[in-house]
Amino acid sequence: MPDNRVNTKLLPATQATVLTALGTVKENLPFLIGVSPEERQTLPKMGDKTVAFVNKALDVVNRHPEILPGNFDAQAFIADVELVNALRPVQGELRDLLEKVDDTVLAAGSEAFSAALRVYQFAKTNGLDGELDAELAEMGKRFSRKPRTPQPPDSGS
């Protein structure tokens, strides 16, 4: 097989260790939440350019709390900023890890699919006198297409 970039196994014991470690990460971050796609669209975003602005606001709150109205929850603001600052390095590491997992699944999946296509061709060519007909029919479902519904004729004048 040409260009086999991923040539390894994830042993069950190693997989179990990784899943346990990820479970430990989740246990240590019990405050993580989910946000719906609709809510995600409405929330103001704190991107890289905004971090300095928010941290400067934190500095102002810490140095001059007297400027804040009584209904401003400074402690909640401080806690949110500190949480974001603490989670950003974790987020970066997880993003890097997820990207590598995604890339490895993509590459290994591509290699597996390419090899499976070759197996399918070999099986079609060397079908062992019909012995592989059931397997070939099952594999062939991958390539079946739904018939197109005919478009009504254009009745333009």
Which residues are within 8 A (CB) of 55 and not within 5 positions of it... i.e. 6 or more apart?
81, 85
pLDDT value, residue 121: 85
pLDDT at 60 over 50: yes
Query: pLDDT tens, 66-105?
Result: 999 999 999 999 999 999 999 999 999 999 999 999 999 9
Q: How many folded domains does the chain comprise?
A: 1
Domain for residue 35, yes or no?
Answer: no
Domain for residue 107, yes or no?
Answer: yes
pLDDT exceeding 90 applies to what percent of the chain? 67
Query: pLDDT tens, 134-145?
Result: 888 888 888 877
pLDDT value, residue 142: 81
d(CA 4, CA 107): 9
Query: pLDDT tens, 95-135?
Result: 999 999 999 999 999 999 999 888 888 888 886 777 788 88
pLDDT value, residue 92: 96
How many helices, marked H, and strands, marked E, lie in the chain?
A: 5, 0
Domain for residue 39, yes or no?
Answer: no
Domain for residue 151, yes or no?
Answer: no
Domain for residue 70, yes or no?
Answer: yes
Domain for residue 115, yes or no?
Answer: yes
Domain for residue 67, yes or no?
Answer: yes
Q: Which domain holds residue 89?
A: 45-142
